[in-house]
Structures are given as structure tokens and as C-alpha cells.
Amino acid sequence: MKFFTFGAAFLAAGLPALPALAHGFAGDRFFPATLLTDDPFVADEISLPTVVRNPTGSDGSQETDLGIDFAKRLTPDLGLTLSDQWKYIQPKGAPAAQGFDALTTGLQYQLFVNAPHETMALAGLEVTWGHSGRVQEAGAPDFTTLSPTFNFGKGFGDLPAALTWLRPLAVTGNLSLDFPTKTESAGTPNPNAFNYGFAIEYSLEYLQHHVRDIGLAAPFDRMIPLVEFALRTPLNRGQGGATTGTVQPGIIWAGQDYQIGAEAILPINNLSGHGIGGIVQVHFFLDDLFPHTLGRPLFGS
Amino acid sequence: MLPFIRRLAVAIALTAGVVSTSHAHAFLDHASPAVGSTLRAPPGVVTIWFTEAVEAAFSRITVTDPAGRRIDQGKAFIGKNPEELSVKLAATAPGTYRVHWQAVSVDTHRTEGNFTFTLAPD
């Protein structure tokens, strides 16, 4: 124990004056890594795996995806992201196909974190790389797309105390624009597009530990029911206004080192698909697992 | 594809089992007075039970009255268990009190949080 005491003293003395926790905290608010929409914070995290059974496509195809997402802080406020997925596609009346989708990379900057008002925002640039996946077999793009992004999160713990049951609520959202570097591929137009999504979260963890102890025991005291929405509206090249997207109700359980989430996938219209799909994700917080190596920024405190 | 997913699931489960016992933050598990509770009698002491053992020397509990004045008395101290941190309070009048805690777990992770409790009039 004395060894630990000495270690704690040594390291606590050198603790930087930063927010207490890195991954997704703004004051008392913990924003989990959402499954569909992008997160409003830079982090050292990995989602492995993300398993998606998509709703039946508008063309009748069935698709299952296995994905991985990796996020790494270069500095406390600047981060990189990498993501890709392996796709198994069963077209209607045709042989199945499989292969990797395009690699997506991102550069993100944490604009601010406001602890008292549980607010944070992030700006970034994502690049989906052409020819980085199996174009013919898995439908990966043969063109690169640049996507400037803006992500935000807001917890409502700063509401008046009388609004007890609303204070565990939080909203995260993301806005982005797609700029393909080719206007068409094999005769099909590649329009610019507006992507917009948000998540409405009700944190039982926040309720139990920061607002009112209602006697929730494990595992319920770390659960966050949520509903996510993600939509995409093409803007030009003959496809303007054909919005597609999904609504995804589900739940996330967030532990200290990892979280597990599951959501149903509901298409918003026929163009987005038919029926119900599902997604399950296991997500690890590298800053907690490897705080002195892989889980810390490459540069800076 | 299915055998691959099955193997992957087993690997993830094993990994999760291993890492869940690795580095851990000390989060509030429960407290006395309870988070958001209303009391009829002054508490005299605030105790927080954390999810991990904490270092008293680097952990603290501050309690402020409705006017923002500190009413915690002396340093926070470890109770019967290393996960239990307490601080004594000065006399309290009816009103809502804010508890702010900072904890350093024995593996040096630092956490903090807030909650309130209310002392009702007689």
C-alpha cells in the first residue's frame, strides 16, 4: 500500500490542470461514444468490433458489416481517427460479395469544453479515400470525398434543480458536408451532400450519481438509453432532396474501461431500406487502459 | 463468416474480462446523505463510497451551504474501508447544500463530481 501511496503522491503532484477525465467528460457529464453519430470529443479509443446487420436495402439486398474505429490524440486537443469495415453483401438474385469498404481518416480539433454547462464542440475534416476498398465487389467508392465536420454535445445538468428528471438528458449532434472529388462514377452522379445527425441521451448514471439516488444497482446505474438520428441529403447533380437515413433507438452500458452498445436500425423511408436492422458495438477507452503509453496524447500533457 | 465472428466475440469477451480489472477510476458509488436526498436532521458528516480505493491524502470533499460558504471541517478521512471517504460538517441550517468531491484512486487516476442534498426545515 505504501508503494501505491508514494506512486499516487508522485503522480498526483504532476497532474495537469486539465479536466479530470479525458474521454467524453464535460464537468459531471459523461458523453458515451455513440454508435451511429460522431462524438464531440477527441479521445484515445477503439471500437472493436462494430457489428451491423443492416435493414434490407431499397434494392432488396442484405448487408452485414464488421467495423473498426480508432481514435488517437496527437495533443490534448487534436486527434486523428481511422475507420473501416468489412462488408458481406447478398444482392437480390445475385451471388454474394464481400470485401473492405473505403478507409476513412479524420483530423479533429477540440474547440472547447465547458464543464459548468456540460458543453463541448469539435471541428474536423474527414477524408474517405477512393480505391482504398473493394470497388466492384463491395461497392467501395472509386473517388475520394472530403467532409468538413462540426460536432457538439450539451448536457442539461445545469437546468434548475426543480427540473430533477430533465437534468440527466443530453444531446449530441454532428453536421458535415461531403465534397466528392469525382462528379460521377460509371455514369452514376456523385453529389455533394449534407449530413446531419443527433443523439438524445438519458443518462441513468447521471441521474443516480449526480441528481438523485433512486436506488439503481449495477448494471442499471451505468446505462444510457438513447435515440440516434442520422440523415443525408444530396444537394446537386440531379439528386437534390432525396434524403435517406435511419433512426436508432438503443442503450449503452458504459463501464470504466469499456462500453457496450446495442441499437435497432429503422430506415426513415423506402429509399433508406425496409424492415429493421441492428447494431452491436464494443468500445474500449484506451486512455484508461493504457494511461501512460497508448492512451495519452503523443505530444503535450 | 460465422466461425470468424464467434472467435472474435470470444476474444473480445476475454479482453474485456482482463481489462476490467486493470486501471480503474474511483467513481461515486453511493453517498450519505444520499445524492439529491432531503433530510430532516443535520447530517454532521458526509460520506462517499467510491467504486475503487482512494488515497485520502490526495482526495477531498468540500461542502458549501446555500450562500456558498464552506461548511466542511478538516481534512477528508478514510473510513472502515479504503473506498470510503468522509468529511465532518459544521452546524447546518435548512437549505440545499452542494457537495464537490475529488478523488485520486490508488493507481493515481483522478476523478471529480458534484451532487446536492437538502436539509428541510423542522
> In 3D, which of A148, A152, A198 has the Cα closest to residue A177?
A148
Domain range enclosing A179: 23-289
Residue B12: predicted pLDDT? 52
> Where are the domains positioned within chain B?
24-119
Its pTM stands at 0.87
Average pLDDT over residues A144-158: 98
Q: Residues of A with CB below 8 A from B58's CB? A: 8-9, 12
Cα(A234)–Cα(A230) distance, integer angstroms: 14
B76-to-A21, A69, B38, B43, B101 alpha-carbon distances in Å: 22, 42, 23, 15, 10
Torsion of CA A152, A20, A23, A211, to 10 degrees: -70
Of B20, B96, B114, the CB nearest to A28: B114
Residue A239: predicted pLDDT? 86
> In 3D, which of B5, B6, B39, B1 has the Cα closest to residue B120?
B39
**Rg of chain B (C-alpha set):** 19
A1-11 pLDDT, tens digit per residue, is 333 333 333 33
Say whether B55 and A8 touch across the interface (CB within 8 A).
yes
Residue A20: pLDDT above 90?
no
A108-138 pLDDT, tens digit per residue, is 999 999 999 999 999 999 999 999 999 877 7
A156 versus B20: the higher-pLDDT residue is A156
Q: Residues of B with CB below 8 A from A212's CB? A: 35-37
Please name the fold of domain B24-119: Immunoglobulin-like (2.60.40)
Q: Decide if A70 is inside a domain.
A: yes
Residue A10: predicted pLDDT? 35
Q: Which residue of A has its CA nearest to B10?
A: A49
**Could you identify the residue written with the cell 479536466?**
A19
CA distance B85 to chain A (A): 16
Of A12, A258, A289, the CB nearest to B108: A12
Q: Decide if A300 is inside a domain.
A: no
Cα(A231)–Cα(A194) distance, integer angstroms: 8
CA angle in degrees (0–180, nearest 5) for A213-A216-A219: 140
CA distance A83 to chain B (A): 18
Mean of the per-residue pLDDT values for chain A?
91
CA distance B73 to chain A (A): 23
Query: If interface means Cβ-Cβ distance under 8 Å, which residues of chain A face chain B?
Result: 1, 4-5, 7-9, 11-12, 15, 20-21, 27-28, 48-49, 51, 64, 66, 88, 98, 161, 164, 208-213, 255-258, 282, 284, 288-289, 291
| Distance spanning both ends of chain B, measured CA to CA | 68
Banded model confidence at residue A14, pLDDT cuts 50, 70, 90: very low
What CATH number is associated with residue A90?
A: 2.40.160.40
A36 versus B13: the higher-pLDDT residue is A36
Residue B13: pLDDT above 60?
no
Give the DSSP H or E segment for A138. helix A135-138
Residue A271: other Cβ atoms inside 10 A = 11
B23-46 pLDDT, tens digit per residue, is 568 889 999 999 999 999 999 999
Q: Residues of A with CB below 8 A from B102's CB? A: 20
Say whether A12 and B110 touch across the interface (CB within 8 A).
yes
Q: Are strands B110-119 and B38-39 parallel, antiparallel or unpaired?
A: parallel
Q: Decide if A9 is inside a domain.
A: no
Q: Decide if A301 is inside a domain.
A: no
Number of domains in chain A: 1
Residue A35: pLDDT above 80?
yes
The gap from C-alpha B73 to its chain's centroid, in whole angstroms, comes to: 18
Residue B3: predicted pLDDT? 54
Say whether B108 and A28 touch across the interface (CB within 8 A).
no
Of A12, A48, A208, the CB nearest to B104: A12
Q: Percentage of chain A with pLDDT > 90?
A: 81
